[in-house]
Amino acid sequence: MGHFDGMDKTLLSLGHGYSARALAARLIPQGWRVIGTTRSPEKLDEIAATGVESMLWPGDDVIPLLQQVPNLLVSAGPGPEGDPVLLDLHNEIAAAAPHLRWVGYLSTTGVYGDHGGDWVDENTPLAPSTRRGAARVQAEAAWGAIPDLPLHIFRLAGIYGPGRGPFAKVRKGTARRIIKQGQVFSRIHVEDIAQALELSLANPQPGAVYNLCDDDPAPPQDVIGHAADLLGLPLPPAVDFDDAEMTPMARSFYAESKKVRNDHAKAALSWQPIYPDYRSGLAALLGSDD
């Protein structure tokens, strides 16, 4: 792409997860060095196989890297005690802040809480209705409080992509269409997250906050139904939300209904979703190893 000529093409990815891997797959062919950390020793080889330098953290010493690496991506979510990166490395990150060129923090649209199906954008007051959402608001604030940190916050809608689509459940016959009146979710294909992160790395705007989602918020039962159509399988059964057996985590997602706007990311980053709706995203997944 030529965006990155003449700069230090090195990225330290703390908590190198699903979205970070998709970004690394875009950067490495352009000559980037990506260093990814994991808490799981068994994941070290898996990460290294993708061309990323893998490190155990906490464990291996990432502190010297913070003084050398210009770009930092933070994917690790907050735990009961708060943000795990800042719990371990706050002072070191604060000391490195003036030398850093770009810091990306992957957050969630859960920070907005429930809006009864109405639209939200980056200026909507944060009013999380779940413990997880509240922890994200606190984590965003803690990162934002570090002086001179070139912070970019990415609030991600529901992520899907290879290995994370509805097809496996539909094929197995375990998918259900959970019906809750008025429920809508925004979602985003992992490749569109990676594309936005790459554009932001090429054009840092410290202090920026971006919602990343597609153009078509939709009821979850429509997505499952469309997946079944694409597979040529029967429509999964409809189950009323009140009667559905669900994990507390799954149920908590239904505590919030909102449509998320992405206009700001499009304007500020010249970003256009490759998969602007779930239909195009699912069609592409079906053509890959979903």
- Cα 171 from Cα 176, distance rounded (Å): 12
For residue 197, give Cα distances in angstroms to 82, 144, 274: 24, 18, 14
- Cα 28 from Cα 43, distance rounded (Å): 19
Question: Mean pLDDT across the stretch 258-279?
Answer: 97
For 10-162+188-213+261-275, which CATH class? alpha beta
Question: Mean pLDDT across the stretch 78-105?
Answer: 94
Model pTM? 0.94
CA atoms within 13 A on the CB side of 130: 20
Q: Is the pLDDT of residue 2 over 80?
A: no
The pLDDT confidence band at residue 255, using thresholds 50, 70 and 90, is: confident
Q: Is the pLDDT of residue 1 over 70?
A: no
Residue 272 has phi, psi (to 5 degrees) of: -130, 125
The pLDDT confidence band at residue 58, using thresholds 50, 70 and 90, is: confident
Q: What pLDDT digit, counting tens, does each position of 121-152 carry? A: 999 999 998 888 999 999 999 999 999 999 99
Which pLDDT score is estimated for 202?
95
Which pLDDT score is estimated for 13?
97
Task: Give CA 154 to chain center in angstroms.
Answer: 7
Q: Is the pLDDT of residue 9 over 90?
A: yes
Question: Mean pLDDT across the stretch 48-63?
Answer: 89
